[in-house]
Structure 1
């Protein structure tokens, strides 16, 4: 019997598998397809990402560096309101290769990472969790039963683990889409359009890899039509279209007696961007540091630890998102007043109130 079984080997699952294996636990991790595919989200991340990967991975992962963002209330021809730093604000990375790099780190730490394995059943018992796992034909086919003292559900916004054990859903799920124009663009500003209901659309230059276009909106909005309008406005043709759910708002609990959720499955995401790479890996670290698979009571410690780390940022992120729904004249007034050099961290809304940022505003 394993100490931990991890369902889903995205950033959160791979990070937890690595940290738990480094702590000496016996870890198995299941990914239903190939790690990193299909692409499900953007690769626009803060400098914090480099603390989670080996130093030598940076050159292979990095596609472009970003120094600011142009916010617009309308389309590409509308007035831009620039927010920028003199130093790098963020990075554009190869999102698929990030997942593969993190999975390799987990393997090197001793975790048994199995691709082509789909968890189809989760049976939580008093002293263990029994998983039913279907193997893809390319890895031998058939099914197997795997037992673990605890299970980490890291299987994304539409989590099978979450449903199987009856944990509550995220507060909401947005519908996100993105695609790529392969024309190289080394620009150092992203474009953010406050044109999607309660959220936004974006354009991210990815260096030699081209340009990413995307948007997200609540259920019921015709996001495909809005995406077509966005790319038509930029007069580009895109390929590799991706679509998926973006969970926003963690539920009151993400644990049972022997199961815990991490990452998108727990809606550990930024409400104002939908990004969850850094938040999910921070929660994975909290889980590895607090959970003892032989002691279910330590799951309460995990609940406290990840919320101590992220709850304030998530709460402030919700306030920022409310600004996306303000009347357009108010949005323009606010963007005009606040635009210019900033002192904020893209993963930490609390940095908006930092001394560095307030000094720059006063300038």
Structure 2
């Protein structure tokens, strides 16, 4: 019997598998397809990403550095309200290679990482969890003391165990052009109902265009309008769900959710790489597979770390839907040098952040 079976080997699952294996636990990690594919997430991340990777990984993953964002109330060509830092605020990376690198780190730590293995059933019992797995040419059962559901926004683990759904699910789309662009700023367009559209320069790797919107919105039509306005052709079109707002409970007696499966994302951008890996670290520190009651400590730990940021992120997102004159007034008043960390909206209220605002 395994100590942990990890379902889903994205950043959150690979991080948990690596740290748990390094701590001496017997870990099996299952990915239903090939790690890193299909791509369904942007590669625009804060520079904190490198803290989770060995130094040599940067040479493979790095594509461009970003110093800030140009916010537009309209489409391309409209006035840009620039928010910037004097140092790098974020990087653009190869998102597929990130997943593969994190999975390799889990293998090196001793986790048994298996691709093309799909979990089709989750049976939680008093003393174990029995998973039905399809892969390796057949269907078989795996027994584990605990299961980590890291299987994304449409989580089979979450639904099999009747855990509550995230508060909201957005529909995100993105694609890439072959333009070479080493620009220092991403473009953000507040033209999508309830969210925004973006343009991210990726150096020699091209440019990423994308947007996300609530259910019912015509995301494909809005995306076509975005790329027409920029007069570009794109390929490698990707589409996926973005969970917003973690539910009130992400654990059962012998299972816990991490990352997108738990809705551990930034409400104002939809990104969840750093939040998911941070929650994975909390899980490794708090969860004992021989003590199911320790799952309560995981619930407390990740919420103490991320709940305030998520709550403030919801307030930031509300600004996307303000009337256009108020948006322009606010952007004009606040644009300029910032002291805010892109993953931590609470830094707006730090001494450095407030000093930037007051000194403007």
Provide the residue aligned with 2:305 in structure 1.
Answer: 309
Identify the match of residue 330 of structure 1 among 326, 331, 341.
326
TM-score (norm 2): 0.99
Distance 2:208 2:273 in 1: 18
**TM superposition shift of 1:354:** 1.4
- Per the alignment, residue 180 of structure 1 pairs with 176
Equivalences for 1:151-166 in 2 at 5 Å? 151-166=147-162
Q: How far apart in 1 are the matches of 2:311 and 2:92? A: 26
| Cα shift at 1:362 | 2.1
Q: Which residue of 2 aligns with 1:268?
A: 264
Which residue among 266, 280, 290 is the counterpart of 2:286? 290
CA–CA distance in 2 between the matches of 1:342 and 1:260? Answer: 37
Structure 2 partner of 1:212: 208
Residue 119 of structure 1 corresponds to 119
1:310 is displaced (CA, Å) by 0.3
1:1-363 → structure 2 map (5 Å cutoff): 1-135=1-135, 140-363=136-359
**Counterpart Cα distance in 1 of 2:167 and 2:355:** 35
Whole-angstrom CA distance in 1 between matches of 2:38 and 2:180: 22
Matched residue of 1:357: which SS?
helix
Q: Shift of residue 141 of structure 1?
A: 1.1
Aligned counterparts of 1:183 and 1:78: Cα–Cα separation in 2: 21
Q: What is the rounded CA distance, in whole Å, between the counterparts of 2:137 and 2:216 in structure 1?
A: 38
Find the aligned partners of 1:147 and 1:196 in 2 and give their Cα distance: 45
**d(CA) in 2 for partners of 1:134 and 1:277?**
27
For residues 182 and 37 of structure 1, the distance between their equivalents in structure 2, rounded to whole angstroms, comes to: 20
Q: TM-score, normalised by structure 1?
A: 0.98
How far is 1:237 from its partner? 0.4
Query: Could you tell me how far apart the structure 2 residues matched to 1:118 and 1:265 are?
Result: 16
What is the rounded CA distance, in whole Å, between the counterparts of 1:57 and 1:92 in structure 2?
A: 14
Cα deviations across residues 239-288 of structure 1 (Å, max 9, x unaligned)? 00000100000000000000100000000000000000000000000000
Deviation (angstroms), 1:183? 1.4
Deviations 1:142-182 (A, max 9, x none): 11110000000000000000000000000000000000001
**Shift of residue 73 of structure 1?**
0.3
Within 1, Cα distance between the matches of 2:320 and 2:328?
11
CA distance in 2, matches of 1:147, 1:102: 25
Aligned mates of 1:237, 1:355 — CA distance in 2: 44
Looking at structure 2, the residues matched to 13 and 195 of structure 1 have their Cα atoms a distance apart, in angstroms, of: 34
Separation in 2, partners of 1:98, 1:197: 31
Measured on the aligned residues, the alpha-carbon RMSD in Å equals: 0.5
In structure 2, how many angstroms separate the alpha carbons of the residues matched to 1:131 and 1:317? 36
Distance 2:151 2:54 in 1: 24
- Quick one: distance in 2 between partners of 1:60 and 1:324? 35
- Once residues 166 and 355 of structure 2 are traced to their aligned partners in structure 1, the CA distance between those partners, rounded to angstroms, is 37
- What SS is found at the alignment partner of 2:354? helix
Name the SS for the 2:152 alignment partner: coil
Whole-angstrom distance in 2 between the partners of 1:335 and 1:121: 49
Matches of 2:231 and 2:137, distance apart in 1: 46
Structure 2, unpaired ranges of 5+: none
Distance 1:142 1:206 in 2: 41
1:39-78 CA-to-partner distances (Å, cap 9, x unmatched) read 0100100111001011110111100000010000000111
| Unaligned segments of structure 1, at least 5 residues | none
